[in-house]
Amino acid sequence: MAYKFEQLDVWGRALDYIDQIHDIAEDLPKHERYNLADQMTRAANSIALNIAEGSTGQSDAEQDRFLRIAIRSLLETVASLHLIKRRDYLDDLDPLRTAYRESETLFAKLQAFRDSLDTDASVQEPQVEYDENVPF
């Protein structure tokens, strides 16, 4: 028996993104291992965990709530990428660029998943359009 979330493409992509974020975190300076590295890996893990938790046969509105949390966690990891770049913690910016591009795809997939749900939520967040420019 497979759980519903295990069959979701967005969950698989979230796992791949987590791997990228963990790889970046491992390359940070030692003084950031228990600060920024821990924060960004917790946020990355939260993406997949909230996708899974929201898929447990609850209402679409409840699933939407967990997807919103996953999106916020994703954005937290993106902010972490900016901090790493700003502080010149990595000599090679390719991992940041790759993770940033994947974050855009994952964001779009999470938004599309949310849009596919039939929610009765009275408060809706406006959909944000992102451009193709990568800041790194």
pLDDT per position as a tens digit, 5-15: 999 999 999 99
Q: Where are the domains of the chain?
A: 7-116
Using a 10 angstrom Cβ sphere, with 0-12 exposed, 13-18 middle and 19 or more buried, the burial of residue 34 is exposed
Stretches in the chain below the pLDDT threshold 70: 1, 57, 120-128, 130
Contacts of 41 (CB under 8 A, 6+ apart): 18, 21, 22, 25
Topology of 7-116 in CATH?
Answer: de novo design (two linked rop proteins) (1.20.1440)
Question: Helix 60-86 to helix 36-54 angle, to the nearest 10 degrees?
Answer: 160
Which residue from 51, 67, 66, 63 is spatially nearest to 111, judged by alpha carbons?
67
Which residue from 97, 79, 75, 98 is spatially nearest to 87, judged by alpha carbons?
79
pLDDT per position as a tens digit, 62-75: 899 999 999 999 99
User: What is the pTM assigned to this prediction?
Assistant: 0.85
**What pLDDT is attached to residue 122?**
45
